[in-house]
Structure 1
């Protein structure tokens, strides 16, 4: 049986670490061409084949509500960062594609942000990073 006190302490530690790291890394997005939320959308889109992803896949990866993602995507379309077309496989869905400007902005921020992530994660050695990756995946799969 799970130790209740230990479970709560572990959750609090995980939650506080995430909160503090995200707060520290928010500086990565100051004076950049895209916001952190736009970066998150472009992360999913640029990883897809031909820099394309379904809107529902973007929504699944975001930590905000579906209506908020839809508004964000519409703003990104108007800013020329992505295009949005009907999904040929699902008439109710949409397909997002990074524009050249969106892909360029993403790469510009990704370079800085990845160095920041690596710097923060360097508090752990490679074995600890592998353990953290395994444990967080186990929690997500549960």
Structure 2
């Protein structure tokens, strides 16, 4: 990569990072006064989309941007609040299953409608073609790179 390409790569990265940060900040207000944090919503998103509204804890962790111990503590707090239940995974002696309770699923659905509308409104700045291109480009960036 020559110097011009490196500068362009850095500029693109900084723009992507700043856009993500600004959009994230803007839509985070969707969780004000809802009784759910954004992290709890993310757990419920994974769990409610799974068959039987039940997901393996490792699958929940894989979809989160926080460490496995943090996800485990979060899920335990959510279980205490009655949003999810947690039990041993019969297929994995070391794993756990997380299931959305009726209360958790209802809370998720209530917030998901408004949150989805906020995301759609924010993303409406882009055309359908641009949205597809953004989706495809970010998917390409998410592919694992060679190990360091």
Q: Give the deviation of 1:34 after TM superposition.
A: 1.0
Residue 6, structure 1, aligned to residue 18, structure 2: no
- What SS does the corresponding residue of 1:31 show, helix, strand or coil? coil
Which residue number corresponds to residue 130 of structure 2? 128
Which residue number corresponds to residue 119 of structure 2? 117
Residue 28, structure 1, aligned to residue 27, structure 2: no
The structure 2 residue matched to 1:53, chosen from 32, 35, 55, is: 55
The structure 1 residue matched to 2:87, chosen from 85, 88, 96, is: 85
Q: Give the deviation of 1:94 after TM superposition.
A: 0.2
Residues 63-74 of structure 1 correspond to what in structure 2 (within 5 A)?
63-74=65-76
What is the TM-score normalised by the length of structure 1? 0.98
Runs of 4+ in 1 over 3 A off after TM superposition: none
Q: What do residues 77-120 of structure 1 show as CA deviations (whole Å, max 9, x unaligned)? A: 00000000100110000000000000000000000100000000
Q: What do residues 19-59 of structure 1 show as CA deviations (whole Å, max 9, x unaligned)? A: 00010111100010211110000000000001010000000
- What SS does the corresponding residue of 2:126 show, helix, strand or coil? coil
- RMSD between superposed Cα atoms in Å: 0.9
Which runs of 5 or more structure 2 residues have no equivalent in the other structure? none
Q: Which has the higher contact order (CA 8 A, sep 6+)?
A: 1
What is the TM-score normalised by the length of structure 2? 0.94
Cα distance in 1 for residues equivalent to 2:91 and 2:16: 39
Which residue number corresponds to residue 77 of structure 2? 75
Q: How many residues align?
A: 142
Cα distance in 1 for residues equivalent to 2:69 and 2:14: 29
- What SS does the corresponding residue of 1:83 show, helix, strand or coil? strand
